Structure 1
Amino acid sequence: MEWIKHLFKHTPEIQLFVCLALGFAIGRIKLWKISLGGVAGTLIVAIFIGTIGVALNDEVKNIAFALFIFTLGYMSGPSFFASLNRSSLRYGVFTLIEAVTVLAVTAVATVSLNLDQGTAAGLMAGGATESAVVGTATDAIGKLKLPADQIKTLQANVGTAYSISYIVGLITIVLMTSQIFPSLMRINVREEAEKLWIKLGGGSDAEGTAPALPGLVGRAHQVVYADGSTVGAIEAALGEDVTVERVRRGGEAIELTPDTELVLGDIVLLVGPRERLVGGDRRIGPEVAPPTGVDVDLETADVVLTAKEGSGRTIGELRAAIPPEERHGVFLTGITRMDHPLPVQPGTTINTGDTLHMSGTKRDLADFVPRVGFRIDPGVKADLVFISVGIVLGMLIGKITITLGSVPLSLGTGGGCLLTGLVFGWLRARRPTFGQYHPAAAQVVKDLGLATFICAVGLSSGPQAVDLIKQYGVSLAIAGLLVTLIPACVSMFVAWKLMKLPAPLALGSVAGQQCSTPAITAIQQAAGNTTPLMAYTIVYALSNVVLPLLGPVVVAMADALN
């Protein structure tokens, strides 16, 4: 043990990656349908290793948290601002319920159990299953006019209380949303999700998590029955989603227009959804093996929606608004919002900042993409100038302090970087010529930044963890249960009884107000499709912004109550 302690003290980078490796390994372990996840696993391992008296310095912790919270804001920005409209803002009631209720329950627990500022903040962060609150609360505690040793102890208590209440809160929200609430509602989630799927325009056989559109395929046919028909007539007969991409006549490819007439013996290459192409034999002629020069390569493009006429409209409405000739040969194969997939159905509403996954020929994509948004360049992963300027501005904003009574209030590094991240993400969506931050790169930075920050918090919490657990015992776990349970029950009542939301949207809203990825995963498994994500992504975007800002609030509240 002394050798390990000596190694960790002199090479702190080793203890960081040991905690990450073990933490993410533990986080993958599933008990029934629940796993802790890498962040919670890292925190538990870090608290355990921290008991031997090793820690990471504050600079590492602050840098990691700044990277995480700015990236979180950047990824949330387009969806957050797009949600500030009449149709989406009604879902804001769930974020409001979450914010007010967790503060109220935490206040009662603070008075009843005589919690200090750090324990109260950790209790709220874990019960709300929002890791970012740990950082903003820790920042706020550091500004209290208290001795340095006391501040260090309070900051350590944040991590310990968070780990206890998070585990309880995670289990609670997963069970409530995927099992208990559906039982109380006396509904079959899968049946309700299928009804909603059909209402959105999907087929009645939409079971499981299959894509909304069939896989794109190409088919070559020899012209027999279509002799004398035009290209436009063939496409219209087979359906709008089908395009004639190539026609080979006498061994040579010919130029195509909608008025081009087909002649006996032409080889026609069709591209479109599999189900639409099955009629090709009857309308054109027998399917044949494509000769050399007929095949065509389809490209894929990830396109961020920026067109004003597209935001807040359904896929069906946007499709109807764009003339068929402008979207010819372009296929929508997927939609993601903040890295969560949405149903690709005519009734699905899309917002600015959503990523549209498209397929088509290079020429067709080049013509169509500027019509709806900008194409993400896969070769550029992150504009470090843009990101660094945003973090610097966020840190400067975080230093602005307003004193309320004896409590200094400020956004801190967390609130400041979250604010600039939101604005910079929104600016990127509005002006796509600068500031690229590829979603995959952003996800890695966000996860690594949060895990590193949580590791630093856990290592510093280790020495005080045993004392805090002995002091409060099971009462802290019960308080964490209530911080999760009460807001969830209130929101479920509002969603189901007052707002009359379909069951998948009601359950997705409750998971979204908790920003709980494990909960929405369990709901999707029960639903059999992605319909719960339509509500989850809206509430998630709002809660991801509001809940981290409660860190300084809960510290000030606990300070006043004490």
Structure 2
Amino acid sequence: MSWLEQTLRSYPELAIFLSLAIGYWVGGKSFKGFSLGAVTATLLAALLIGQVGITISPTVKSVFFLMFLFAIGYGVGPQFVRGIAKDGLPQALFAVVVCVLCLVCAVGVAWVAKFDLGSAVGLFAGSQTISASMGLATDAINRLEMVPDKAQAMLNAMPVAYAVTYIFGTIGSAVVLALVGPKLLGIDLVKACKNYEQSLGAGGDKDSEGRSWHRYVLRAYKVAAGGAAVGKSIAQAESMALAQGRRLFIERLRRNGELREALPGEVIQEGDVLAIGGHRDDLLQLLGHSQAEVEDDELLDTPVLGVDVFVSNKSLAGRTLEALAAMPHAHGVYVRRIKRGALSTEIPVLPGTVLQQGDVVTLTGLTKDVQIAAKELGQIDAPSNVADVAFIGAAIFLGGLIGAVVMKVGGIPLTLSTAGGALISGIVFGWLRSIHPTFGRIPEPTVWFMNSVGLNVFIAVVGIDAAAGFVSGLQTLGVSLFLWGIVATTLPLILSMLIGRYLFRFHPAILFGAVAGSRTTTAALGMICEAAKSNVPALGYTVTYAVGNTLLTIWGMVAVLILS
């Protein structure tokens, strides 16, 4: 054991990797639906490992924290800008209100309880589950020109308070939003989500709901005498089906043994064999139940494609799927999945679902149709493991350079800091990427790595540095911190739900998702969707998450300025 301790002191980088290994392993375990999560588990592991006395260069912490903040900004950029600028404005304003409540409640609790600056900021970070705020708070404390020993004592107290208050911050948020909130407001969440789905065009039959929007089947049918399509052009037959709420497309036909392309003006004749894409029931409704399906492998031998498309066409963003389906470029194309936001939140695929810039849409259909639709919507998000590292490095450098500028107001140094600059750089360049997806590609796994590992390396170094004062701090303020943390977590959540329901008048189906997004509590969103038996609450999560993640991170610095 003494050899291991000496090795960790001599090679502190090994202590970081050991903290990550334990943190991710323990954080991935769950008990009755609850888990510590990688961040808290890594912090606790680092606090334990750091008891042997390990010194790590602060540069390591700074590098990984900048990487983390840039990834956060890059992921939320499209939703953040869109939410501030256009149709997400009510949700964005609501997120600002919630973030202010979180700051005021946490700072107020710290002031009433007379906690020191480090404990106060740690209480804010833990009770609001925003570990990233400790990075900006650390920069702010270091700029207060305190006596070094006093500043270090505050920095050591921060992770102690965070660890004590984070557990209820996570569990309590999920319970309050998913279970207590609906009862408090008298809302039947399951019924509210069903009503909201119906307003978006969902049918009452759950077996067939949304099928014509995300299933694609190609079949060959022979047109019999007296069939509904006889004498009509292909375009007229497809329009007739669309008028009845069915999206069917004639892709090819065989006439007198000859294969032909299905041109819009081609008139359908008795005896034609049509290759039709759509749902089987809808095909029978169009052609009649007397029509025989035929085996024609050559006719049906057409390439089918399924691709992810990055939506960047501003003229099409903001329209419903129903409106987009009536456009020429949507011919033969079906939407299987829509992912939105930094967490790739899956959005319900319904006729009334609104498409947004930055969404990743999975299209399916014949290759030629899909390629036309993809070109119109934006750009195919071709699978690739290669990240534009030159773009990442330049963007973080530019953001950090701007953030390094310091201005003094009333003797108080005000600065974005290099960390804040990296966050804003990520937002700007992430938004630019959503408009012009020809540069700055960062694959989703890379964003995850920068986000998750970047934060956890930072947390590991914070924990190892603070380990010396952890035990004494826990003994002194542990119970008091935990109880005050419950107040700091619960109070802003209850106020936010009331404000969202009665002032902003959000639909009950998206209200709790909007509060969860504003507080950036992904665990709470999962519990809300489970309680609602629907993904509809996620529609309130993406814009508010983008705003909340940005503001709550910055609040770490603001809390220091207020309390100091």
TM-score if structure 2 supplies the norm length?
0.91
Shift of 1:67: 1.1
Query: Is 1:246 matched with 2:252?
Result: yes
Residues 450 and 8 (structure 1 numbering): CA distance in 2 closer, same or farther, change over 3 Å? same
Residues 534 and 207 (structure 1 numbering): CA distance in 2 closer, same or farther, change over 3 Å? farther
Secondary structure of residue in 2 paired with 1:299: strand
Shift of 1:55: 5.1
Partners in 2 of 1:250 and 1:329 — Cα distance? Answer: 25
Q: Aligned residue for 1:4?
A: 4
Q: Aligned residue for 1:124?
A: 124
Comparing 528-537 and 210-219, the one that deviates more: 210-219
Task: State the aligned residue count.
Answer: 556
Partners in 2 of 1:188 and 1:410 — Cα distance? Answer: 46
Partners in 1 of 2:456 and 2:532 — Cα distance? Answer: 30
> Does structure 1 retain, via aligned residues, the 8 Å contact 2:216–2:365?
no
Query: Is 1:344 matched with 2:349?
Result: yes
Partners in 2 of 1:182 and 1:97 — Cα distance? Answer: 20
> Does structure 1 retain, via aligned residues, the 8 Å contact 2:331–2:369?
yes
Q: Aligned residue for 2:388?
A: 383
Comparing 210-219 and 13-22, the one that deviates more: 210-219
Query: Is 1:326 matched with 2:332?
Result: no
Query: Is 1:426 matched with 2:427?
Result: no
> Does structure 2 retain, via aligned residues, the 8 Å contact 1:197–1:206?
no
Partners in 1 of 2:470 and 2:455 — Cα distance? Answer: 20
Q: Aligned residue for 1:518?
A: 523
Residues 386 and 86 (structure 1 numbering): CA distance in 2 closer, same or farther, change over 3 Å? closer
> Does structure 1 retain, via aligned residues, the 8 Å contact 2:220–2:299?
no
TM-score if structure 1 supplies the norm length?
0.91
Residues 5 and 268 (structure 1 numbering): CA distance in 2 closer, same or farther, change over 3 Å? farther
> Does structure 1 retain, via aligned residues, the 8 Å contact 2:219–2:276?
yes
Shift of 1:249: 4.7
Shift of 1:319: 4.2
> Does structure 2 retain, via aligned residues, the 8 Å contact 1:220–1:268?
yes
Q: Aligned residue for 2:35?
A: 35
Partners in 2 of 1:147 and 1:46 — Cα distance? Answer: 26
Residues 388 and 208 (structure 1 numbering): CA distance in 2 closer, same or farther, change over 3 Å? farther
Percent identity over the alignment is 31
Q: Deviations over 1:121-165 (max 9, x none)?
A: 111111111122121112222222124444333223222221221
Partners in 2 of 1:13 and 1:288 — Cα distance? Answer: 67
Query: Is 1:466 matched with 2:471?
Result: yes
Q: Deviations over 1:456-478 (max 9, x none)?
A: 22222222111211121211112
Comparing 70-79 and 23-32, the one that deviates more: 23-32
Query: Is 1:354 matched with 2:359?
Result: yes
Residues 299 and 554 (structure 1 numbering): CA distance in 2 closer, same or farther, change over 3 Å? same
Shift of 1:455: 1.8
Structure 1 unaligned blocks of 5 or more: none
Residues 79 and 86 (structure 1 numbering): CA distance in 2 closer, same or farther, change over 3 Å? closer
Residues 232 and 317 (structure 1 numbering): CA distance in 2 closer, same or farther, change over 3 Å? closer
Residues 449 and 229 (structure 1 numbering): CA distance in 2 closer, same or farther, change over 3 Å? same
Query: Is 1:550 matched with 2:555?
Result: yes
Comparing 485-494 and 135-144, the one that deviates more: 135-144
Q: Aligned residue for 2:301?
A: 295
> Does structure 1 retain, via aligned residues, the 8 Å contact 2:212–2:334?
no
The one-letter code of the counterpart of 2:190 is R
Partners in 1 of 2:12 and 2:205 — Cα distance? Answer: 55
1:30-179 → structure 2 map (5 Å cutoff):
30-54=30-54, 56-85=56-85, 87-179=87-179
Shift of 1:90: 1.6
Q: Deviations over 1:60-100 (max 9, x none)?
A: 22111111110111111111111124542222343233332
Q: Deviations over 1:276-315 (max 9, x none)?
A: 3454662683223442452333222222222222333433
The one-letter code of the counterpart of 1:128 is Q
RMSD over aligned CA atoms reads 2.6
Q: Aligned residue for 1:306?
A: 312
Shift of 1:409: 2.3
The one-letter code of the counterpart of 2:427 is L
Q: Aligned residue for 2:458?
A: 453
Q: Aligned residue for 1:255?
A: 261
Partners in 2 of 1:402 and 1:211 — Cα distance? Answer: 58
> Does structure 2 retain, via aligned residues, the 8 Å contact 1:194–1:207?
no
Partners in 2 of 1:437 and 1:429 — Cα distance? Answer: 12
Partners in 2 of 1:175 and 1:416 — Cα distance? Answer: 35
Residues 397 and 489 (structure 1 numbering): CA distance in 2 closer, same or farther, change over 3 Å? same
The one-letter code of the counterpart of 1:545 is T
Secondary structure of residue in 2 paired with 1:270: strand
Shift of 1:422: 0.9
Residues 56 and 220 (structure 1 numbering): CA distance in 2 closer, same or farther, change over 3 Å? farther
Residues 160 and 259 (structure 1 numbering): CA distance in 2 closer, same or farther, change over 3 Å? same
The one-letter code of the counterpart of 1:311 is A
Query: Is 1:392 matched with 2:392?
Result: no
The one-letter code of the counterpart of 1:357 is T
